[in-house]
């Protein structure tokens, strides 16, 4: 299985965002996690297309865009133009999830579906064939720096089993509270894409990214 660290720029210093992204890229990281929050689906407002457009010009990483946005189908083309490679939408925010996932693929991006901690896996059972990735939130979305929710491990395990039983391969991404302390349990449960915000951008970025990547490679 392929494993990737996907550092979340939400925890970066936006005054020197380009510089901090270069640091993770130079440390050998392939994916970049970009959190878009609309102040509606989640209380916070983070960043949008202009920022993605600017950083796309400076980076060749895979842009893993996590939309915490109500009715995200309104913006699919815009995110494609801005440079998203993977577009992940929340099942809770999409009344027509099947159509939204098809539209993402038709726009030429990989499609992901995300679930909040309290949302059961049954919500996405019907659409697993349509996704390249399932993002399981391991904190309640909206803010960086929160504590990992321990019952997530069981959900990851059940999802990997469900995918295996149906002969499907989809990435399982985990997002929230992932650090050198919690990463082993999510890897062991079957996650293969690991988002980390404060655990990468808090302090020495290259050293933090290397410490997490070493855990992933073990
Ligand atoms: C939370 C975001 C996360 C967040 C993770 O709503 O989706 O991507 O940045 O931050 P940490 O790793 O600090 O929990
Ligand atoms: Zn995220």
- pLDDT bucket at 60, cuts 50 / 70 / 90: very high
Average pLDDT over residues 42-56: 98
pLDDT in tens, 158-188: 999 999 999 999 999 999 999 999 999 999 9
Q: 143 CA distance to ligand 1 centroid (A)?
A: 6
Three-class SS state of 216: helix
38 is catalytic: no
98 is catalytic: no
Contact (CB, 8 A) for 149 and 175: no
Residue 48, annotated as binding a ligand: no
Residue 175, annotated as binding a ligand: yes
Q: CB within 6 Å of ligand 1 — which residues?
A: 8, 10-11, 33, 35, 66, 139, 141-146, 175-178, 195-199
How many angstroms separate the most distant Cα atoms in the chain?
A: 46
Query: Which structural domain range is residue 72 located in?
Result: 4-217
Give me the CATH number covering residue 203.
3.20.20.70
Contact (CB, 8 A) for 80 and 107: yes
Tokens 């391991």 belong to which residue? 138
pLDDT given at position 218: 84
The domain tally of the chain equals: 1
Q: What is the mean pLDDT of the chain?
A: 98
Tokens 């996704």 belong to which residue? 131
Average pLDDT over residues 112-138: 98
* pTM given for the model: 0.98
What ipTM goes with this model?
Answer: 0.98
- Of the candidates 79, 34, 77, 87, the one whose C-alpha atom is nearest the C-alpha of residue 59 is 34
pLDDT given at position 211: 98
Contact (CB, 8 A) for 21 and 32: yes
Which atom of ligand 1 has the smallest separation from the CA of 148?
14
Contact (CB, 8 A) for 157 and 187: no
- pLDDT bucket at 9, cuts 50 / 70 / 90: very high
Contact (CB, 8 A) for 198 and 206: no
Mutate to test the pocket of ligand 1, among 5, 10, 39 (most ligand atoms within 8 A of CB): 10
Which atom of ligand 1 has the smallest separation from the CA of 196?
12
Which residue, judged by its Cα, is nearest atom 4 of ligand 1?
Answer: 144
Residue 112, annotated as binding a ligand: no
Q: DSSP secondary structure string, 137-160?
A: ESS-TT-SSPPP-TTHHHHHHHHH
Task: Name the phi and psi angles at 33, rounded to 5.
Answer: -95, 125
């Amino acid at each position: 299985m392929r494993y990737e660290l996907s550092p979340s720029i939400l925890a970066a210093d936006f005054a020197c965002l380009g510089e901090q992204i270069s640091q993770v890229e130079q440390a050998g990281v392939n994916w970049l996690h970009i959190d878009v929050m609309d102040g509606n689906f989640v209380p916070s407002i983070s960043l949008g297309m202009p920022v993605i457009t600017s950083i796309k010009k400076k980076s060749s990483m895979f842009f893993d865009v996590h939309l915490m946005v109500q009715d995200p189908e309104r913006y699919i083309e815009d995110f494609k133009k801005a440079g998203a490679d993977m577009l992940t939408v929340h099942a809770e925010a999409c009344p027509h999830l099947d159509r939204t996932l098809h539209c993402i693929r038709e726009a030429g991006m990989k499609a992901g579906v995300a679930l909040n901690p309290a949302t059961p896996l049954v919500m996405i059972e019907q659409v697993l064939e349509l996704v390249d990735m399932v993002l399981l939130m391991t904190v309640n979305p909206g803010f960086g720096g929160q504590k990992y929710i321990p019952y997530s491990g069981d959900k990851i395990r059940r999802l990997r089993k469900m995918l295996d039983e149906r002969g499907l391969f989809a990435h399982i991404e985990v997002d929230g509270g992932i650090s050198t302390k919690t990463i082993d349990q999510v890897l062991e449960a079957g996650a293969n894409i690991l988002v980390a915000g404060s655990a990468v951008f808090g302090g020495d970025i290259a050293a933090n990214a290397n410490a997490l990547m070493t855990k992933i490679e073990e």
